Amino acid sequence: MIGTRHDTVAAGSLILALCLTAACNGNPSGTTQRDVETESAFILKVGEGVELAGGELVIHLTEVADDSRCPTDAVCVWQGDAVAALQVVSAGVEHALRLHTNPGKATGPGHADVGAYRIVFLKLAPEPLAGVSIPQGDYRVTLRIEANP
């Protein structure tokens, strides 16, 4: 016999680890990714990512959380809020960001500065309807990357 069962399992584990490492290189969540430029708005679905040319900044939308926005078919005393949870990598450092549709002291920021860039939360779609929950896969987040002022 050339190798033992233990050798075969060890070799298989090594190959799997190498494949997973290669698949996630530069893309920590292993999600779909495309290139964008600064000062241009772009849309992300949950699980998608973007990268500035040159890889200086990588952004992934991991989820939309705490969606309490006022439904379009209702009258509310407060417009509500929702959170875009982002995983951002800049200069090899990973950042977990939570940007709000209704930024303020009671909720949180609508933008974040990461290195030489500012990430701005512009819009969340679709608009909610009373009594209808929105599946994570239906959310669309519009962001813009700006040079940090």
In the 8-state DSSP scheme, what is residue 106? T
pLDDT one-digit tens code per residue, 87-137: 999 999 999 999 999 999 888 999 999 999 999 999 999 999 999 999 999
Q: Taking a C-beta distance cutoff of 8 angstroms, is the pair 61, 138 a contact? A: no
Q: How far is CA 149 from the centre of its chain?
A: 23
SS3 labels along 2-44? CCCHHHHHHHHHHHHHHHHHHHHCCCCCCCEEEEECCCCEEEE
pLDDT band at 24 (very low <50, low <70, confident <90, very high): very low
Q: Which fold has domain 31-147?
A: Tick-borne Encephalitis virus Glycoprotein; domain 1 (2.60.98)
- The pLDDT, as a whole number, for residue 14 is 35
Q: What would the two tokens of residue 36 be?
A: 């964008």
pLDDT one-digit tens code per residue, 32-64: 678 999 999 999 999 999 999 778 999 999 999
Phi, psi at residue 53, to the nearest 5°?
A: -50, 135
- The predicted model scores a pTM of 0.77
- The pLDDT, as a whole number, for residue 85 is 98
- The pLDDT, as a whole number, for residue 55 is 85
| Domain chopping of the chain, boundaries | 1-29, 31-147
Q: What would the two tokens of residue 80 be?
A: 């509500």
| Distance from C-alpha of 4 to C-alpha of 9, rounded to nearest angstrom | 9
